[in-house]
Amino acid sequence: MEQEKKKRILSGIQPTGTFTLGNYIGAVRNWGKLQDDYECLYMVADLHAITVRQNPADLRRMTREAVALLLACGIDPEKSLLFVQSHVPAHSQLSWVLSCSTQFGELSRMTQFKDKSAKHADNVNAGLFTYPVLMAADILVYNADLVPVGADQKQHLELARNVAQRFNSQYSPTFTVPDPYIAKAGAKIMSLAEPEKKMSKSDENANAFILLLDEPDAILRKFKRAVTDSDGEVRYAPEEKPGVSNLMTIYSCMTGKDFAAIEAEFAGKGYGDFKTAVAESVIAELAPVQAEYKRILADKAYLEGVLKEGAAHANAIADRVLSKVYRKAGFMQL
Domain spans of the chain, in order of start: 8-187+300-329, 206-294
Within 13 Å and on the Cβ side, how many CA atoms surround 270? Answer: 3
Q: Residues 6 or more apart from 117 whose CB is under 8 A from it?
A: 124, 128
CATH of domain 8-187+300-329: 3.40.50.620
CATH superfamily for domain 206-294: Tyrosyl-Transfer RNA Synthetase (1.10.240.10)
Question: Which pLDDT value is given to residue 154?
Answer: 82
- Per-residue confidence in pLDDT tens, the chain, 334 aa: 445 789 999 999 999 888 999 989 988 988 988 999 999 999 999 999 998 889 999 999 999 999 999 999 999 999 999 999 999 999 999 999 999 999 998 998 887 777 777 777 777 888 888 999 999 999 999 999 999 887 667 888 999 999 999 999 999 999 999 999 876 644 589 999 999 999 988 888 999 999 999 999 999 999 999 999 998 999 999 999 999 999 999 999 999 999 999 999 999 998 999 999 999 999 999 999 999 999 999 999 999 999 999 999 999 999 999 999 999 999 998 8
pLDDT at 83: 98
For residue 195, give Cα distances in angstroms to 95, 161, 187, 239: 37, 32, 14, 10
Q: For residue 120, what is the DSSP state?
A: T
Separation between Cα atoms, residue 23 and residue 44, nearest integer Å? 13
Q: How many CB atoms lie within 10 A of CB 257?
A: 16
Strand-pair category, 146-148 with 179-181: parallel
pLDDT reported for residue 321 = 98
Radius of gyration of the chain (CA): 21
What pLDDT does 192 receive? 96
| Active centre residues (catalytic) | 116, 198, 201
Angle formed by the axes of helices 271-298 and 242-255, to 10°?
50
328/70 Cα distance (integer angstroms):
36
d(CA 322, CA 98): 11
Please, what is the Cα angle at 313 between 128 and 308, to 5 degrees? 80
